[in-house]
Amino acid sequence: MPDMLLFANPYHVLDAKGRLAGACPMAEPVRPGTVAPARRFIGARHKMTEGSYVEENLEAGIPGRGDTYFVFDVDPVKVIAEGPDEHFYLTRFQHQDLFEATDGVPLAKLATARAEIIADHVAAYGKEPDTSTWAKHFALDAEVEAEMKKLIAAAKANAEAEADKKKAEAEALAKAKEAAAKEAERRSKIPPLVGDEGGK
């Protein structure tokens, strides 16, 4: 039975209030239809905002409900995965619901995911999401944000360096073409040598 160290990607999705909601459920065996699933999550817990619960009203057909959110762990979670469970987790890696955490907290992957969810939110709504609760729900958010800023700065520096390189190459090519054109013009103005009329 292979052991797997997993880390939840809190930045995989945001809820309607812009809170981190990237919780991935644990793989569960198929149960009889009368048995409810355990609904446990990898490195995440479901919590309810205090005082938000509204009792069900059977007469009005309103179920009980409350404002719920996720709190994410800061340590990798060890699971034993075999057969369909292993396939389930490998699929979750592909969708980035989870990251492998063999070498500890996957800070760079989390930073990339944080940048991507912010960019997606900006593309969809024209503004950045409210991140004020993120550190409350995921204690490593400040570290992830710092790493994200480093990655963005490095990417910007690389893009600028690449742009400068292409500009320099274009300028060098333009100068070479200009020099070749001037040399061709200079040669065209040189009179032929005596006795060398048309190469005869």
Q: Residue 114: what pLDDT?
A: 96
Place of tokens 């995440």: 44
What integer pLDDT is reported at residue 160 of this predicted model? Answer: 79
Whether residue 77 contacts residue 43, with contact meaning beta carbons closer than 8 Å, is answered with yes
CA 46 to chain centre: 23
The C-alpha atoms of residue 121 and residue 137 are separated, in whole angstroms, by 19
Average pLDDT of adjacent 10-residue blocks, the chain of 200 residues:
85 94 86 70 89 68 77 92 84 91 92 96 94 96 96 82 80 82 82 62
Return d(Cα 27, Cα 84) in angstroms, integer.
9
Helix (H) / strand (E) element for 5: namely: strand 3-8
pTM over 0.85: no
| pLDDT for the residue 11 | 97
Domain assignments of the chain as residue spans, ordered by start: 3-28+37-50+63-157
